Amino acid sequence: MTKKQFVFIIACYIQGSVLYTMYYYQMIGNEAWIAFTVGALLGLLIVALYGRLCETHRSACLVKLNEEVYGRIPGKIISVFYIYAFLISCSVMMRQTGQFIAGDLLMETDWLLILTIFVLICAWASNLGIKYFASVAPFTCVFMYVFTVFLFLLILPGVKLKYFLPVGQRPVSEYIKTVGLCAAMPFSELSVLVILVPELKTDNEKRGFRKQFALGILAGSPFILITMLRDTLVLGPLLKSFSYPAYEVIRLINYHTLSHIESLYGTLLLFLLFFKSAVLFYCFTKAFAQIFGCQKNIVFTAFIAGLTMLGTQQIASSNIMLIELVKTRIIYVLLAVQVLLPVMTLCVSEIRRRASAERRAAR
């Protein structure tokens, strides 16, 4: 994997979070795009933290990095917290995907059946390794931009600028919570990509991680922002009425011969969801392999497939419950594990580095 491919993987990973927009809409409706923009700026700070950690431990993935900082056993215990957060992210993603397909693309099909196939295909992609993601990401990222902008142009006649209003009439706590949610999902989820760092080809490429993460965010976030602006300007007060506004809004396109284009868009959307889920799955297996000292990720493919299926079933009893859990619990779990823990790791790492430098100077 090269630096550029890594940037595209980050961008595609963020694009794959496009269905998260429904949580933002549920929280502050038409002002969600503002919260997302602020969340992306916060995301730049969060990834600067990951970048700093990667630069101080260039050859280590997340698990080895924790072991280097905290020691062998405490490092593994800290890594288990990350794995718990990855499991939650993976379960939310797969639950969303399963219910999106069962609810909008293949209606009347049992979502558990869809989930089983989806998990198996993610396992297949994960076994192909990082080369697969690296080769697919650049084209997917660019193509999704082109297609989404094209659809935006087609839906322009339905746009109403008045839907941007009212602005600033909610309690401040709602804005803060939504910005926190945007920072947690998807930006703090980028911590999973720290596992991919040792896969960069040369030592020369293992530099400037902060820049790479930042470029990834700058390449991926506008996609979600364009989608949110489109949904807000077209659906307005109806934003909260749909489960997946990013998809439903495309149903409104009826431009000469171009109608029912949503089935094509749904397929492309599905590929983005698959990309993100498969990357999560791959990093998940790699983290487990690192914890147990295995060279082959494939050892844990079956286990992770079962675990993600179980997690996806057990995370919530319904889609409404999932939205409630995201708003009340998942946001805090993700922020605690994927922001506070790295801050703590960086502090401990710096203290240890300075202490060892002082010891060397004293000798």
Shortest distance in whole angstroms from residue 22 CB to another protein: 19
Query: Of 255 and 332, which CB lies nearer to another protein in the complex structure?
Result: 332
Asked if 109 is part of the footprint of another protein (rule: CB under 8 A), the reply reads yes
Taking CB under 8 A as the criterion, the residue among 153, 310, 340, 347 binding another protein is 310
CA dihedral of residues 184, 341, 279, 210 (deg, nearest 10): 80
Task: Please report whether residue 25 would count as binding another protein according to CB under 8 A.
Answer: no
Subset of 331-360 contacting another protein (CB under 8 A): 333
Task: Determine if 148 is a binding residue for another protein (CB under 8 A).
Answer: no
The only residue of 315, 334, 339, 341 in contact with another protein, by rule CB under 8 A: 315
Alpha carbon distance 304, 198 (integer Å): 21
CB-nearer residue toward another protein: 157 or 306: 306
From the list 260, 306, 340, 344, which residue makes contact with another protein (rule: CB under 8 A)?
306
Report if residue 301 touches another protein, rule: CB under 8 A.
Answer: yes
**Does residue 300 bind another protein (CB under 8 A)?**
yes
Q: Minimum Å distance from CB 91 to another protein?
A: 6
267 forms part of the interface with another protein (CB under 8 A)? no
Is 221:49 a contact under the CB 8 Å cutoff?
Answer: no
Least distance between another protein and beta carbon 154 (Å):
32
- The stretch among 18-26, 61-69, 212-220, 327-335 that binds another protein (CB under 8 A) is 327-335
302 lines the binding site for another protein (CB under 8 A): yes
Q: Is 80 in the site for another protein (CB under 8 A)?
A: no
Handedness of CA 194, 338, 245, 121 (dihedral sign): positive
Binding to another protein by residue 117, rule CB under 8 A? yes
CB atoms within 10 A of CB 329: 11
Residue 112 sits in the site that holds another protein (CB under 8 A)? no
Residue with tokens 């590929």: 271
Q: How far is the CB of 69 from another protein (least distance, A)?
A: 25
User: 219 vs 278, which CB is nearer to another protein?
Assistant: 278
Long-range own/partner contacts, residues 309-315 (CB < 8 A, 24 or more apart): 309/115, 309/116, 309/119, 311/87, 311/88, 311/90, 311/91, 311/94, 312/90, 312/91, 312/94, 312/95, 312/98, 312/115, 312/119, 313/112, 313/115, 314/91, 315/88, 315/91, 315/92, 315/95
Q: Determine the residue type at 156.
A: L
Q: Which residues bind another protein (CB under 8 A)?
A: 87-88, 91, 109, 113, 116-117, 120-121, 123-124, 127, 292, 294-296, 298-303, 306-307, 309-311, 313-317, 321, 325, 329-330, 333
